[in-house]
């Protein structure tokens, strides 16, 4: 029996060994980061060291970073805490943006990229203070969004721009200032860090109201004793991911090789193929082959992929992202393969062989 192959890194990335080691060491620390004695000061120093590393990953200042329980909380904090009356969000945002507050949707094209002109006219059509939320890269298709252009449009209209960079950070260079983002979300477990830890970077000029109150932690932006081992792990993961950006080209080669081999089969469609995409992500539909059937058959063959967004599911629901791109029945035939630091070319071979066996069984 060959070992199972994990190809679902947009759901979560295997923890990097150095992260696990740093977290194990942090579990031995005694102090509460808010305590004034030496134990507390040591714990505080570890939190601040991690904050600096997370800030460096996204081009923020350390003082702009607020640790949260993950990307979901950071997105909720951004949408609720920015205090803007209108929230304009792209139709392909993660549900933690779409369901954080009442939102107006900005459409995307068939390529999975936001319509900037639609954003412009929505902003021009209503003078109330607005927040625009646009992800840097989509979790299902990998499509990279024109965040800098959207930020410029938002600012022309006096709006703020929040960017969910959960899938982009560690996969493409991310610089909050160059993008013009006023708020930015990141999550540790998409970078090889622990689950249940993330951050919202908030530019110094943006006032933000806390969502969780009852303590002065995180400069009053997020009450509660910090999750020290997770934050330490997040810092190490952020540093490693920033240093390993050069490895992403090799992942793109693996991904492109996989796509070349599946596209040989008639009718296969790769979503967002016409857009700039994350190097690690491929989302494709095979006519008549249900997503759930593929995911289950591949799992039986020892290969883990997902059907569209699997963040919280276990159930397979029609993808709002693919539907927003105009996909009909194809949305029900899509699977997502997403690679990470542990991926190698033998994994691609295993995937393609198992997937071809599935196609052959259907044809028989």
Residues serving a catalytic function are 311
**Beta strands in 46-197, from DSSP E residues, in sequence order:** 65-68, 86-90, 104-106, 130-133, 160-164, 183-187
Dihedrals phi, psi of 185, to nearest 5 degrees: -100, 140
Dihedrals phi, psi of 104, to nearest 5 degrees: -105, 135
Q: Which residue is nearest to ligand PLP (CB)?
A: 71
At its nearest, how many Å lie between ligand PLP and the CB of residue 198?
5
Please say which residue, 31 or 198, places its beta carbon nearer to ligand PLP: 198
Please say which residue, 11 or 208, places its beta carbon nearer to ligand PLP: 11
Please say which residue, 138 or 286, places its beta carbon nearer to ligand PLP: 138
Binding site for ligand PLP (CB under 6 A): 70-72, 75, 94, 96, 135, 139, 164, 166-167, 187, 189, 198, 311
Please say which residue, 139 or 280, places its beta carbon nearer to ligand PLP: 139
Q: How many CA atoms lie within 13 A of 64 on its CB side?
A: 24
Distance from C-alpha of 200 to C-alpha of 51, rounded to nearest angstrom: 11
Structure tokens at 100: 């954080």
Structure tokens at 209: 């109201």
At its nearest, how many Å lie between ligand PLP and the CB of residue 144?
12
Of the candidates 54, 66, 92, 89, the residue with the CA atom closest to the CA atom of residue 190 = 54
SS (H, E, C) 44-57: HHHHHHHHHHHHHH
Structure tokens at 351: 């995937």
Of the candidates 25, 70, 94, the residue with the CA atom closest to the CA atom of residue 234 = 70
At its nearest, how many Å lie between ligand PLP and the CB of residue 271?
15
Please say which residue, 72 or 90, places its beta carbon nearer to ligand PLP: 72
Please say which residue, 234 or 341, places its beta carbon nearer to ligand PLP: 234
Distance from C-alpha of 202 to C-alpha of 183, rounded to nearest angstrom: 5
At its nearest, how many Å lie between ligand PLP and the CB of residue 96?
5
At its nearest, how many Å lie between ligand PLP and the CB of residue 175?
18
DSSP 8-state class, residue 67: E
At its nearest, how many Å lie between ligand PLP and the CB of residue 7?
15
Q: How many CA atoms lie within 13 A of 209 on its CB side?
A: 7
Residues in the chain: 364
Sheet with 334-338: list strands edge to edge.
269-270, 281-285, 334-338
User: b vs e for 231-243, b when ≥16 Cβ sit within 10 Å of the residue's Cβ?
Assistant: bbbbbbbbbbbbe
């Amino acid at each position: 029996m060959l070992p199972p192959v994990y190809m679902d890194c947009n759901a979560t990335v295997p923890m990097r060994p150095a992260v696990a080691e740093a977290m194990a060491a942090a579990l031995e620390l005694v102090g509460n980061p808010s305590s004034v004695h030496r134990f507390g000061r040591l714990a505080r120093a570890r939190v601040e060291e991690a904050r600096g590393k997370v800030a460096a990953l996204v081009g923020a200042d350390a003082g702009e970073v607020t640790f949260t329980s993950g990307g979901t909380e950071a997105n909720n904090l951004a949408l609720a805490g920015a205090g803007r009356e209108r929230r304009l969000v792209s139709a392909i945002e993660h549900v933690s943006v779409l369901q954080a507050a009442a939102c107006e949707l900005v459409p995307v094209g068939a390529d999975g990229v936001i319509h900037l002109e639609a954003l412009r006219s929505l902003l021009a059509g209503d003078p109330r203070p607005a927040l625009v939320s646009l992800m840097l890269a989509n979790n299902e298709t990998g499509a990279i969004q024109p965040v800098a252009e959207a930020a410029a449009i938002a600012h022309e209209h006096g709006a703020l721009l929040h960017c969910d960079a959960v899938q982009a950070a560690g996969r493409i260079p991310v610089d909050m200032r160059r993008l013009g983002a006023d708020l930015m979300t990141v999550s540790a477990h998409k970078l090889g860090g622990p689950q249940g830890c993330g951050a919202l970077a908030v530019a110094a000029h943006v006032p933000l109201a806390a969502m969780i109150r009852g303590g002065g932690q995180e400069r009053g932006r997020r009450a509660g004793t910090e999750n020290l081992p997770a934050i330490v792990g997040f810092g190490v993961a952020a540093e490693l991911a920033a240093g390993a950006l050069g490895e992403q080209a090799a992942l793109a080669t693996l991904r492109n090789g996989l796509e070349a081999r599946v596209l040989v089969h008639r009718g296969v469609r790769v979503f967002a193929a016409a857009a700039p995409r994350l190097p690690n992500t491929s989302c494709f539909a095979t006519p008549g082959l249900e997503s759930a059937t593929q995911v289950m058959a591949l799992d039986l063959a020892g290969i883990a992929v997902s059907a569209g967004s699997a963040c919280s599911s276990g159930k397979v629901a029609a993808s709002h992202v693919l539907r927003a791109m105009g996909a009909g029945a194809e949305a029900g035939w899509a699977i997502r393969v997403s690679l990470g630091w542990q991926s190698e070319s033998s994994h691609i071979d295993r995937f393609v062989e198992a997937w071809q066996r599935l196609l052959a069984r259907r044809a028989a």
